[in-house]
Structures are given as C-alpha cells and as structure tokens.
Chain A
Amino acid sequence: MSTKTPRTRRTLATASAAALALVAVTACSSGGDGGGGGNGGGGGEEGRGDITVWYSNNEQEVAWAEQMIEAWNADNPDQQVEGQEIPAGASSEEVIGAAITAGNAPCLIYNTAPVAVPQFQKQGGLVSLSEFEDGDEYIEERSGETAAQYASEDGAYYQMPWKSNPVMLFYNKDMFEAAGLDAENPSLATYDDFLAASKEIVDKGIAPNAINPAPTSEFFQSWFDFYPMYAAETGGTQLVEDGASTFTSEDGYAVAELWKTMYDEGYSSREQYQGDSFADGQSAMATVGPWAIGVYDDVNWGAVPVPTSDGIAPSETYTFSDAKNIGLYTACENQATAWDLLKFSTSEEQDGQLLELTGQMPLRANLTETYPEFFEENPAYELFGDQASRTVEVPNVPNAVTVWQTFRDAYSEAVIFGEGDIQSSFEDAATEIDELVSE
C-alpha cells in the first residue's frame, strides 16, 4: 500500500519533471554542432594577421621561444605573435584537448606530443599541413626519412616534426668506478653486460638500485623502459606497424625478460622513487634524453646507447625519440601567418638556437653536419646528435593512448610485478591492440 502523502507525490513529480527537462535541454544543446567553421572561420589558410602560440614551460624552451618570437615580431610588424606558456594542467595533452573542444586553442603549440596527434586529429583540432602548397615538401626536406613516422594514416602531416630527445643509457662514472667497472668505456652493450654491471652495483652496495625506471602504470612509462630497448633490439621497429602489433616476437620477449630479471633480482625497484633517483644517487643508471645533460650538473655521468641482446654497434642502434612536435590548430584564424611562423621557427637558424639553448635535437636530417661547431664545442651532445638520426616514434594510429595503456598494463603485470607469463600477457595485449588500431 502506498503511504506517499500528496506533498511527497508533488515533490517527486516536480523533481522528475525537472530532471527530464534538464536532460532534454542538455540533449538539445549537446546535439548542436556550434558555430564557426572547421578551420576556425576567419581567414583560414589564407588568413594573415596577429596570432598566439603556446610553448613548454621549462626554462630553456621559454628562452628559445622568447627570442624566436622577438626575432619574428621585429620583421613582421603587421603579423605580431604573442607567446605564452601552455596553461597548467594535469598534462599538456589534456589542456590542449580542452582548448580544442572550447575552440580557443592557439595557432601553434610547440609541445604537441605525437601520441596525442591521432586524438586531436579525430577531434578536428589540427590543420593538415599537407594542405599548404609547400607543406609536404618542407617537412620532408627538413626531416628526411624520419618524417614518414609522423604522417597520419591518411598520408597527410598533422604535425611538424620538431625536436627529439633520443633516449640513451646514462651512467654514473663515480659509481661505476667504485663498483670496479670501467667508467670511461663501460661494458654495457649486451644484456649480459648490463645485468653484470647491475649486479656489481647492487651487490657491492654502491647504490640501492642499478637503474630505476618509473614502475607506475601511466600509459607513457613504457617509453622509458621497454620501448628504447625494443627499438634497439628490432633495429627500429615501432610497437604497431601496418595495423598490427609487433611486440609478440622473440625481440619483444627478450626485452621483457631482461627487465623482468632486473626487477626479480632487485636491480630495479618495483616501488616508485620520489624524485630523480639518478640525480639523487639512488641508482647508477638512467634512460633519458639529452635534456638531462643540463639537469645532471652534479653527477659525473657518461652516456652509451641502450643495450641489445647481441650488442650491436652504436652506429646501428635505434632508440625511442621522445619527440615533441608543432601542431597548427583549426581554431587559428590567420593560418597563413602561422604556417610562415612555423617555417621560420624551424629554419636552420632557429633550429641552431634550439640546440644551443635547450640541448634538444631538432628533427632535422644531417643534424651533426649542419651544426658541426656546436657538436665540436659540446662533445657531450655529439652522441645524441648521432643517435637522433636513428629514432623510433610512437606509432601514429587510432586510439594511440589506449594502445599504450593496454601495453603498459600487460607489461606491468607480467614484467614489473612478475604475475603471469610474459608471452600470454603480451599475446592478450596484442589482440586488444590490434582491435583498437583497426577501429
């Protein structure tokens, strides 16, 4: 028997009606596509005038961007550029994604992660640079063969390959010496060498861990443990190629087994270290790019290519690029100006400035030949300059972030925490990933 009073019924009816109305109103407002054109209205590709650009917030890149904008503005009084750091957020990709949705993304962002490009492209947030008359030609001439990795599935470029941070194996010379290892020419070319050095360091108590890549579950963490070594082991194979995952191979299992041994033997920690374990002397090695040179001032470091099972020559060793590129966003009204600025900021002169000010490698063919003075004066960077020509990018495929999260989950379970069999975990992940990239 119902015990509801008339008042209760009225309240319920009012609440239900309000809820239905709200959903209906929401549905109506969400169903619309909003105004403006896909290319941001305004002048579109022909538009010229003032524009805004975003760049990364680290000190070196801010310095580079400020001088670049100053140089442009001095020569282009009728097409002024306003620069600002990417607004703070959990990650740059989330901020950029929100800006695309809100329609207030700037014209250019000098920190567009390749892994996010398929998503931004799907959102209609990126301009195809191939649509500019000299688009493909400029990109391919500047970056050479490497450029192909940055083309989207439709063959067009939605990102300008800008700079890479080829990941190499840093080691602490003082710790190696204390462990009785050769600090100047360390034997780190093969997996056996790598494991032997790790054992010496840990067994002799030189450092709590030999190397400490973040063991956490974020999708991008595999770029700094599995992927550089996988790129090296396979001679430059991406995680996904031709619409199918590649890591269920002998090479993939070999890299996974190496890291599993590192965790099982305690050479790497399953616990997240708060801070930079290499800088803090808590580990003797690290897999990082040349950006770290400026950061590891207090460490007597050396760098070598990441190891492979058979120890191939450094001149043939591939690694993960850790690149950041430039995106031209559809909200931009003056896209012609943006394209010109993009070319200006990736010119030989500005790439030289980037190298000088940040130590990061412009994604430019013949890098070491183009800037011989820099590499002569800064021998520490020479290895990275050479390595920059042999880098592997994250695959430019649909659902790229989900692909990497799926891989990370399988890797975390089977390799880091050693639960289950590597082969079956990888096979399950590969099946899921193949479905994701075919969507």
Chain B
Amino acid sequence: MTTATSPRRTGGPDRPSGAAGGSPQKHPLLNRIFGKHPLGLIFSAPYLVFIAIVFAYPLGLAVWIAFHDFYFTAPGVPVDRPFVGFDNFRTALTDPDVWQAFGNVGIFLLINVPLTVVLSLVLANGLNQITRFRTFLRVAYYVPYVTASVAVVGVWLFLFNGNGLVNEILGPLAPSPSWLINSTWAMPTIALFVTWKQLGLYILLYLAALQNVQQELYESASTDGAGKVRQFFSVTVPGVRPATLLVLLLSTVTGANLFTEPYLLTGGGGPNGSSASPVLIMYQRGLEQGNPDVAAAIGVILIVLVLILAYLQNRFAGERN
C-alpha cells in the first residue's frame, strides 16, 4: 500500500520557526486560546452566547436535575435537593407509560423519516425539472410548514374523524374505530401528518442541493445510455448525499421531539397512550404533575438515544471521508 502526502499549505512542524510566524509565535498561549483570528470570536460571540444560554445551560441543568431529587420551588424556600444517583432514571424506566412512549416514537420515526427522505427527494427532483407552475408548487408544499400546527390539526381532525372525508372515500375499508382513536392507526396517522407538514422544508433543502449537481454528470450518464431512473439513482441520489444526511438528522431530531400533534390531534396521547410521545410524557410528569426530576431523566434518555441515532445516520449515510 502506498501513501501519498501533499505539502501542507500553512503552518505545520516543517515550517521554519520564526519565519513569517509573526505575533502568534510571540504569544503561544493566547494564540492557542483565541486562535489566529481573535476578531472571529467577537463576530461569533453573540451566537455563542445565545447557544450557551438557550441550549447549553438548560441542557446542563436538565442533566443536573435528572440526578437530584428536584421540584420547582419559590425563591428562598429552603429545600433539600439531594443527589439521588440513577433513582429518577429507575423511576422513568420502570414506568410502562415511558416505555410505551419510546415505542410509539420509534414507530413514528420508522414511518416518518424514510417517508420524508423519499418524498422530499422525489418531489424536489420533480420540481427541479418542471418549468410550469414551479413557483406555485413550491409555495404549495411550503405553506403547511409555515402554518401553525394548531390550525392544521383542526383540518386533519375533520379529515380523519369517523365521518371525515378519508373514511367517506374509503367506505367499508375505513378502519374501525377510526384513525385517531384506533390504537394501531393513531401513531401512523400522526407520522403521516408530520411528514406532510414538514415536507416543504426538506424539499427546499433538496432543491438547493440539486443546484449543485453538475449538469455534465447527467449528460455523461445520458451518453452512456442511462435513462431517467438510472440517472436519478446514479447521479442525483449520490449528488445530494450531504442534503440527505441533513434531512435524516433534522427529521429524526424533530420527530423525536414530537409533542404538539399527540397533544392536539389525539387529545393527550390517546387512545390509551398509543400516541403518547416521550416529550408529551415529560410535559405531563414535569409540568402538570410536578416531577421535573423524572421528566429530566426521560429527557436525558431521549437525548442519548437521538445522539446514537444521529451517529448511526452519520456513519452509514454520511460522506465516507
């Protein structure tokens, strides 16, 4: 096996010391802390502060709460918050509702994520090729994404209730009990709803990615005798791979945080908890029932599972290099 090395463009151990190094070499510690371009830190500081306050601090606090006996109190109320190790995790993991919720969201992700990737890629590809009604169709797909869930949920309730349009069309094939009160169909219906609602965003991501696929590749493929389908699988799909990874990650993360739809569409995770999600259970335990420590433990478990999923997606769908 041979290994090829390319000459380093900047820095590196083979660089003559003192030559063109300038001030960074004079303050190696400052250089290591602030980097070569400290000004960049100033520009990125507002966003870093935002991330620290809005994401990092709550995340750290959630981890801390998950390992303590914690409940919210008024300022100044003397209360012990002893370290309880994994007690809150034990409480969460011995609660059948929590297991059911994780199972439900697993079903949701199994339906929602692949459906989102396939539909958004196919539709984006179609939208990229058509010339008539292009703007209208792009807006049409995007409108559900920017419409408030509360408003759209109302429409879906009318569509999928016992006497709704869907059952009218299906006639005797309609499930009984109807979709949203059927323990088998409630979660798939929610997955379908979320897929439809989020599709506009992912189509936009794919449309942007498609602009970067070189036209020459299609021409070469065509010259080699590849038809439209072959071109799609051999040129388009590999060409938008980074976008696919992004869509996978985003749809997984947003799907794992499912809350509004079971809260509104199935009236609090019904029937019998078959559409409850981990975040809905967190809301019930943490805010309604006053057990934020158990809710935080569920949240930490959820984060770990999502990180594992994200790692696997990155490992198997990401760029090989």
Contact = CB atoms under 8 A, between A and B. Distances in A.
Contacts, number: 131
A105 B68 CA distance: 26
Given A26-B64, A94-B287, A216-B267, A412 B73 contact: no
A434 B135 CA distance: 61
Nearest to A408: B268
A145 interface: no
A215 B158 CA distance: 16
Contact of A38 (B71, B72, B74, B162): B74
Interface in B178-212: 178, 180-181, 183
Interface string B36-64: 00000000000000000000110111011
A271 B77 contact: no
A37 B289 CA distance: 25
B272 interface: yes
Nearest to A99: B74
Contact of B290 (A122, A269, A413): A122
A405 B285 CA distance: 10
B224 interface: no
Interface string B145-188: 00000000010011001100000000000000110110100000
B159 to A, nearest CB: 12
Given A271-B161, A271-B180, A274-B154, A100 B74 contact: yes
Contacts of A93: 288
Chain B binding surface SS class: loop
B7 interface: no
A412 B271 contact: yes
B154 A123 contact: no
**Interface bin, chain B:** 35 or more
Interface in A68-102: 90, 93-94, 97, 100-102
Contacts of B162: 269, 271
Interface residues of A, number: 52
A405 B287 contact: no
Contact of B157 (A94, A274, A412): A274
Interface string A387-421: 00000000000010110010001001100110100
A217 B269 contact: yes
Contacts of B270: 215-217, 412
Interface string B233-275: 0000000000000000000000000000000001111111100
B74 A123 contact: yes
Given A217-B269, A271-B181, A33 B74 contact: no
A272 B157 contact: yes
Interface in A213-260: 214-219
B92 interface: no
Given A34-B76, A413-B272, A97 B267 contact: no
A51 interface: no
Contact of B272 (A38, A401, A412): A412
A330 interface: yes
B76 A37 contact: yes
B273 to A, nearest CB: 7
A100 B287 CA distance: 13
B12 to A, nearest CB: 12
A22 interface: yes
Interface of B: 56-57, 59-61, 63-65, 68, 70-79, 81, 97, 154, 157-158, 161-162, 177-178, 180-181, 183, 266-273, 284, 287-291
6 smallest A-B Cβ distances: which pairs?
A216-B267, A124-B77, A217-B268, A26-B60, A103-B75, A34-B75
